[in-house]
């Protein structure tokens, strides 16, 4: 399984310059973010294991990342809410299911509630619970070595212990035990 952190978002561009939350709910990718993901997806063309599908967080920046990967690799996309970002900043306020379904009519969102994201005080323990649930679900997927997952910094960090850069590719074997951090 390959995890990919979404490319640079409008939030990332502002926060990296100022250190402040710009207050942008569910931001889109920047042009740099799209180039970052295009470069990463192009590298995946040479991946030794054939890739068969993309799972994505329901946040816009992750769906846009998944779209680029899917287009370049000719893969289907599935929405997986367990891999969403830790809800902390304004960018972690998602778009309602009905808006997502209207924006991306080819994707299935029926399994999401209208407001699928948590409040902005999601705890370390809550993220850990999602990581445990995702790992169990991923380990049960017969095709897990052939899956790309478009996700986010805090989720990837908690799942793997690795602080991923925008559009970084992170290998993940869901059948191996994780080292769990006790701090948030």
155, two tokens: 């989720």
Binding positions are 5-12, 18-19, 61
Q: Is the pLDDT of residue 15 over 90?
A: no
Contact between residue 77 and residue 70 where contact means Cβ atoms under 8 Å apart: yes
Residue 83 lies inside a defined structural domain of this protein: yes
| Residue 183 to residues 83, 86, 129, Cα–Cα distance (Å) | 20, 14, 14
Q: What pLDDT, in 10s, does the model give residues 28-71? A: 999 999 999 999 999 999 999 999 999 999 999 999 999 999 99
Annotated binding site for substrate: 5-12, 18-19, 61
Under the banding of pLDDT at 50, 70 and 90, the label for residue 149 is very high
Report, as an integer, the average pLDDT of 167-179: 94
Q: Is residue 176 part of a domain?
A: no
In a domain, 182, yes or no: no
Predicted confidence (pLDDT) per residue in 21-30, tens digit = 888 999 999 9
183 located within any domain: no
Q: Is the pTM of this model over 0.85?
A: yes
Question: What is the pLDDT at residue 180?
Answer: 67
Which residue range is the domain that position 57 belongs to? Answer: 2-171
DSSP string, 101-151: HHH-TTS--TTS-SS-SPPTT--HHHHHHHHHHHHHHHHT-TTGGGEEEEE
CATH code of the domain containing 20: 3.40.50.1240
Q: Is residue 95 part of a domain?
A: yes
User: Does 178 map to a domain?
Assistant: no
Number of domains in the chain: 1
Residue 69 inside a domain? The answer is yes
Q: Is residue 179 part of a domain?
A: no
């Amino acid at each position: 399984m390959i995890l990919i952190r979404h490319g640079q978002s409008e939030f990332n561009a502002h926060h990296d310059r100022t250190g402040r939350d710009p207050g942008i709910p569910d931001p889109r990718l920047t042009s740099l973010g799209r180039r970052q993901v295009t470069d990463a997806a192009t590298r995946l063309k040479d991946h030794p294991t054939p890739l068969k599908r993309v799972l994505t967080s329901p946040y816009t920046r992750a769906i846009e990342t998944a779209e680029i990967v899917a287009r370049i690799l000719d893969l289907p996309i599935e929405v997986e809410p367990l891999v969403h970002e830790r809800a902390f900043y304004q960018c972690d306020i998602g778009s309602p299911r009905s808006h997502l379904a209207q924006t991306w009519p080819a994707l299935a969102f029926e399994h999401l509630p209208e407001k699928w994201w948590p409040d902005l005080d999601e705890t370390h323990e809550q993220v850990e619970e999602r990581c445990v649930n995702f790992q169990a679900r991923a380990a049960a997927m017969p095709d897990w070595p052939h899956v790309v997952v478009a996700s986010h910094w805090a989720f990837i960090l908690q799942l793997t212990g690795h602080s991923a850069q925008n559009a970084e590719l992170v290998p993940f074997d869901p059948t191996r035990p994780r080292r769990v951090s006790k701090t948030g």
